[in-house]
Structure 1
Amino acid sequence: MTVPLDEINDIREMDAVGVPRAEIARRLSLSRNTVAKYADMADMSPAAPEARPRARRALGPEDAAWIDAVLEADLGAPRKQRHTAKRIYDRLVGERGYEGSYSTVQRRVRAWRDGRRAGAGYLELEWAPGTAQADFGNFEADMAEERLALKLLVVSLPHSNARYARACMSQRSECMCEGLSRIFEQVGRAPAALVLDNATEAGRMSRGEVTESRLFSLFRAHYRCASRYCNPYSGNEKGSVENAVGFIRRNLLVPVPSVGSLEELNGLLAAGCERLNAASRCRDGRPVAEALAEDLAAMAALPADPFDAVRWVRARADKRGYVTVDGREYVAGPAWHSRELLVGVRAATVEILADRGRRAALLPRAWGAGEPVRNPLSLVPALVARPRAFGESTIRRDMPAGLVEAVDRMDAAGRRQTLRSISRAAEASGFEAACGAALRVAEGGRVPDDATVDVLARRIAAGGAEAAEAPTSASTTGS
């Protein structure tokens, strides 16, 4: 008798707390022997599944040799008149009295054909000028004293053997399109055709039909670039870029690079690729630079406007004003609670828009698990509307302590004016400089106003405000 796992757990749990086994058997409608068997079982670790006994005999050596001979003879027959595994099985049963299973014959036929393919090698392909291949590889880097797992986007021009690379945080379509755009800018032209791995997020080919992501389709339309998708396991279809991924990783990412930012890392990769291309040769022995001229002549000029690699999604903010995108929370601000918002997801930023395209927040893109991503400025609109909530707002921890104390002493009108002036000055100078400017004004005994805070914040952002005094303002509204 097979006892379900949940009943086994019930047996052992009741036995552990002292329920008599007869009572356990009565409650679960099981025999006492069954209860005793599972109650006394010392090891509940999962055991390896037992192989089922063969219902029929395995393929003998004579039948195996006969199958091999049939398949070998098929090589001289028309492709549509060759044996299938089912036809071989039918002949084995009818002509040789075979009593084994069809799956055994299938495995034998598959193994024979796989052996033929393994020894056949790849056809060498000739690539027209202007064609590019793109693929991703994995690598690690120390960035701001943290070891990160990153993606290496590589573009190769197989005609000239020129290679370009860019580090990305992810293989998501917005990261891929942004990376390709930056590589096209480095090359100075856009390829006529782009060959991609079928496993990328740009698009997939299934049964001869390609399903492409909307963002990548727009990207191709922007650069007027054709695309072709290949099997990720067919190395000859994109051998140039697969070799380039390993070549760049060995030559530019060993030892593990240590950088302060992703842009610094990409600067090192761009300079490194330029050195490698200058020292390399193409397949016919010419310098890469000579053959690259032929690639560039066959490629298209870059559009006047850069491509905005953004993926737009709709998300509803919760009662705190948080939206969740790709498993990570972003703070739009309490002013936007319980509303449907439009979120623009880019490689480096997340832009949250409210009705009629009004920007609610612009936040850095975050990856993996972590705290909600927030910008103090996203809290300001709600505080301007409800200035008395400043005392409990999380924006306090983003401001200098002296400014927090000054705002606490103000009345509602003074708080509203101070927060509004910080918000407006931050658009040009940044939140930190705006807060510093507001603090300087408050230390002078005045309530910060728009004009004064903006002028002083610009000086602070330019790096020359430490010795500067706050400009005289016509606004002298007190707290």
Structure 2
Amino acid sequence: MTTPVRIQQSIRQLETKGLTHTQIARELGVSRTTVVKYATRDYSPVPPTGGTASRSLVAGEYARKADEWLEADRRMPRKQRHTARRVHERLVEECGFEGSYSSVQRWVKRWRQRHRGEAEGFSELEWAPGSAQVDFGQALAVVAGVERTVHFLVVSFPYSNMRYVAALPGETAECVCHGLNKVFSHAGMVPRVLVFDNATGVGHRRADGTVTQTRLFSLFCAHYGFETRFCNPYSGWEKGSTENAVGFLRRNLMVPTPSAEGWDRLTDAWLERCDEIARGVHYREDVPIRDLFETDLDHMLPLPPSMFDACDWRGVKADRTGTVTIDSNRYLAGPKWHSMRLMAGVRALRVELRSMDGEPIVTLECLCSISCCGFSHD
């Protein structure tokens, strides 16, 4: 069996760091013989031997013309650049070229490889252990006997490829905090850094690109002590791990349509399935994801003595029927409280109404089901 190129590269890289062949073999999980073979190998390219060198038909005046067209393309929008097919058509029509399309296609491919700039590729980001990315996805599920659109919060750990998910009725700050509470409690630790995509309700992105966090989420961050970062909305490569995790979890946890007695029950079931999936082998490191996640845990923060109560308290005014309006949803306190000022404690799954003196009135199911598509802009 051929040793993967990435293993060969790792052998050389570790050797340059001063590791012995035995240490490298143990680190990569390969035999010492394999390490010796690739540590001493000469990787210098050698010219091919045997056979007859192929001669490109795109040469001379044809090559000069094609080069002019492709060079000019570099100043044009991508959708207005020559394809290999268009280059062949123009060479035939304008220059009398008699060669095949495949010869032009090969020539164009080589030209683009030679002229490709560094900015046209992407380097894989290095993620430190203990850091995580957060994003939302949507799927249908049956919750308490009713088919609902579930906004599932995904927390992915790029270092280990560990993924956790929580089921929520919306994407508000209360929902984000509730979902993260569930994930932190299940993992038993808190990530040192959380990187958020824009599709979350925890902040407000201004026109200058800065982000102002909601008061509730700022308190949540202070309670757990983690650092928060937000992705550049135009830099998709920054959030590849979590976007892949959203699709992966939707395919593996939500097909067929899941069912549970409540939101938290659905979350608990999904978290258990995430642990089962983590017994599988990492797509690149050839070790169980759970083993790599242990390194993540070693770099994470301990849980504080108490869980954060993700409740946003607001002053509201009841109408003449004793009903209050919160986030465009109506909640009945009762006729007794008509036209009075009340306190509303808004959580992800419940709304608690109290008098201004702190007397409990009623606790109702939160009707939050609005999908937040991203940060609003000033």
Q: Give the equivalent residue in structure 2 for 1:187.
A: 187
What SS is found at the alignment partner of 1:347? coil
Q: Report if the CA contact (8 A) 2:136-2:199 is conserved.
A: no
Residue-by-residue CA offset, 1:271-319 (whole Å, 9 max, x unaligned): 1101001113164333222221211111100111110111222211011
- Within 5 A, what are the aligned runs for 1:311-390? 311-367=312-368
> 2 CA distance for matches of 1:251 and 1:66?
47
Equivalent-residue separation in structure 1 for 2:369 and 2:228 (angstroms): 31
Runs of 4+ in 1 over 4 A off after TM superposition: 65-68, 108-113
8 Å CA contact 1:328–1:368 kept in 2: the answer is no
* 5+ residue gaps, structure 1: 1-64, 73-107, 370-479
Q: Deviations over 1:34-77 (max 9, x none)?
A: xxxxxxxxxxxxxxxxxxxxxxxxxxxxxxx89963955xxxxx
Alignment gaps of 5+ in structure 2: 1-67, 84-115, 371-378
SS in 1 for 2:278: helix
Alignment of 1:180-329 (within 5 A): 180-206=180-206, 207-281=208-282, 283-329=284-330
Opposite residue 335 of structure 2, the aligned amino acid is P
Please say if 1:170 is aligned against 2:170: yes
Identity of aligned residues (%): 44
CA distance in 2, matches of 1:160, 1:181: 21
Q: For 1:41-56, what aligned pairs fall within 5 Å after superposition?
A: none
Matched with 1:148 is 148
Deviations 1:114-143 (A, max 9, x none): x999x9243210100110111100100123
Summarize the alignment of residues 49-64 of structure 1 with structure 2, pairs less than 5 Å apart.
none
Structure 1 residues 219, 253: CA separation in 2 closer, same or farther (over 3 Å shift)?
A: same
TM-score under structure 1 length normalisation: 0.52
- Distance in 1, matches of 2:269 and 2:233, equals 28
Distance 2:230 2:268 in 1: 29
| Deviation of 1:193 (Å) | 0.4
Cα 1:250–1:358 shift into 2, 3 Å: same
Question: For residue 310 of structure 1, what is the amino acid of its counterpart?
Answer: C
Change (3 A) 1:345 1:157: same
Contact 1:198–1:204 (8 Å) recurs in 2: no
Whole-angstrom CA distance in 2 between matches of 1:282 and 1:128:
18
Name the structure 2 match of 1:122.
122
Q: Give the drift of 1:249.
A: 1.0
Which of the pair is proportionally richer in helix?
1
What's the offset of the Cα at 1:260? Answer: 2.8
SS at match of 1:238: helix
Return the alpha-carbon distance in structure 1 between the equivalents of residues 284 and 133 of structure 2.
16
* Greater length-normalized contact order (CA 8 Å, ≥ 6 residues apart): 2
Query: Size of the alignment, in residue pairs?
Result: 270
Provide the C-alpha distance between the structure 2 equivalents of 1:153 and 1:303, rounded to a whole number of angstroms: 22
Take 2:304 and 2:220, find their aligned partners in 1: how far apart are those partners? 11
CA distance in 2, matches of 1:334, 1:131: 50
Name the CA distance, whole Å, in 1 between partners of 2:283 and 2:300: 18
Once residues 130 and 266 of structure 2 are traced to their aligned partners in structure 1, the CA distance between those partners, rounded to angstroms, is 27
Q: Within 1, Cα distance between the matches of 2:125 and 2:212?
A: 25
Say if 1:311 and 1:236 are closer, same or farther in 2 by CA, change over 3 A: same
Q: Report if aligned partners of 2:135, 2:199 keep a CA contact under 8 Å in 1.
A: no
- Find the aligned partners of 2:311 and 2:190 in 1 and give their Cα distance: 19
Q: Relative to 1, partners in 2 of residues 1:128 and 1:346: Cα closer, same or farther, differing over 3 Å?
A: same
